[in-house]
Amino acid sequence: MNRRSTFLQVAITLAATGLSLALLRDLASIIAPTFLSLNLVIVIYPLYRRLDRLGVPRGVSAVVALVIVLGVLVAFVWGITYAITAMVTQLSSYSDQFVNLYHQALGSLTRLGFTEDMLLGRLKSLDPNGLLSVATSLLANAQGWLSLLTMLLLSMLFIVMDSPAAHGRLAAAHRSHPAFVDGLYDFAEGVRRYWVVTTVFGLIVAALDWGVLLVIGVPLPFVWALLSFLTNYIPNVGFVIGVIPPALIAMFDKGWVSAVIVIIAYIVLNFVVQSVVQPKIAGDAVGLTATVSFLSLFLWTYVFGALGALIALPCSLLVKSLLIDTDPSLRWLDALIASRVPPPGGSGGRPSGVDAGGVPKANADSEQ
């Protein structure tokens, strides 16, 4: 009977999880940008609290926070656009190298048994309608990104408008549902640590990459360092995206040896800084094991699309903080997925009596 009950519980849990993920995927165009907006507001919230304590009107503090967050978004979009434009412009200047590479590849394929007529026949068999379909798909994706950006801005505006009353609302809710609100506090602190630590170490890695590219003599080293910093926000595989353009440029400009050196340098720097140094300094800033973080990337990218790669770890942190950390019966699961094994009987979370903005709860309860 107990085995049957356990089986039913597991089956119901899996079914509920699948239905929840399917619902989230259907509403991805709304939930994903709103959640990213919430993350950005959480990061800037301590500044709002500081301005509020200094006597700045809450409306003015909220506007300042909104302007800063919008500035960060504009800088991020500009950086990505600038890096892609620079890559396309630079690659277009290597037409002769492209021709040489084509002939080398053709020679290699010929030695493997392919003939030039066979390869040309394959190219001619491409359907122009298929290329038109690809172009239409790219246009639709561009429209989708525009809609996503609009939703991101609107959700951020409304979240910032509600931020002045958020502290009092959480304090009031904490009196009747302390476990749930504590989970929100833990999530807010974890998200803030994650974005701050990712930004700081992203800058460190980008500076080191810039130095390596400068020594090797790769053109536009600042552009590739900027791309390395921006792709650093994509966990685990971001550095792979960031290394492709400078490696290609190094190959066309300096040769294969320089390209290999660039790839090795990126791998070594990423491993040393982000896999050795960062965990020792940041501790449990993310709060999840490396394996869980890696799997989170695929799960949330599947659910939310491209934006899911950016918010993968915050999504997993939210699930952990609200569904696992707040349930004593799931402490065993927390021990399996947390970056640090919690001590026996310990919560392993935020220090008792401190809210998401670093303010003692005693003060939070009095601020309505």
DSSP one-letter string for 297-362:
HHHHHHHHTHHHHHSHHHHHHHHIIIIITT-GGGHHHHHHHSSSPPPTT---SSPTTB-TTS-BHH
Per-residue pLDDT band for 118 (boundaries 50, 70, 90) equals: low
pLDDT at 365: 44
Q: Which range has the worst mean pLDDT, 248-252, 279-283, 335-339?
A: 279-283
Task: Judge if pTM exceeds 0.85.
Answer: no
Establish if 270 belongs to a structural domain.
yes
What's at 176, amino acid-wise? S
pLDDT at 135: 43
Phi and psi dihedrals of 247, rounded to 5? -65, -40
Establish if 15 belongs to a structural domain.
no
More confident residue, 238 or 177: 177
Quick check: 185 and 347 in contact, CB under 8 A?
Answer: no
Per-residue pLDDT band for 308 (boundaries 50, 70, 90) equals: confident
Q: What tens digit of pLDDT does each residue of 220-263 get?
A: 999 999 998 988 887 767 778 888 889 988 888 888 888 899 99
Residue range of the domain that includes 294: 27-366
Total domains present in the chain: 1
Establish if 18 belongs to a structural domain.
no
Establish if 63 belongs to a structural domain.
yes
Mean pLDDT of the chain: 77
Establish if 52 belongs to a structural domain.
yes
User: Sign (positive/negative) of CA torsion 324, 328, 333, 337?
Assistant: positive
Q: Which range has the worst mean pLDDT, 82-86, 139-143, 257-261, 322-326?
A: 139-143
Quick check: 49 and 192 in contact, CB under 8 A?
Answer: no
Establish if 214 belongs to a structural domain.
yes
Establish if 302 belongs to a structural domain.
yes
- The proportion of the chain whose per-residue pLDDT surpasses 70, expressed as a percent, equals 74
Establish if 344 belongs to a structural domain.
yes
Per-residue pLDDT band for 368 (boundaries 50, 70, 90) equals: very low
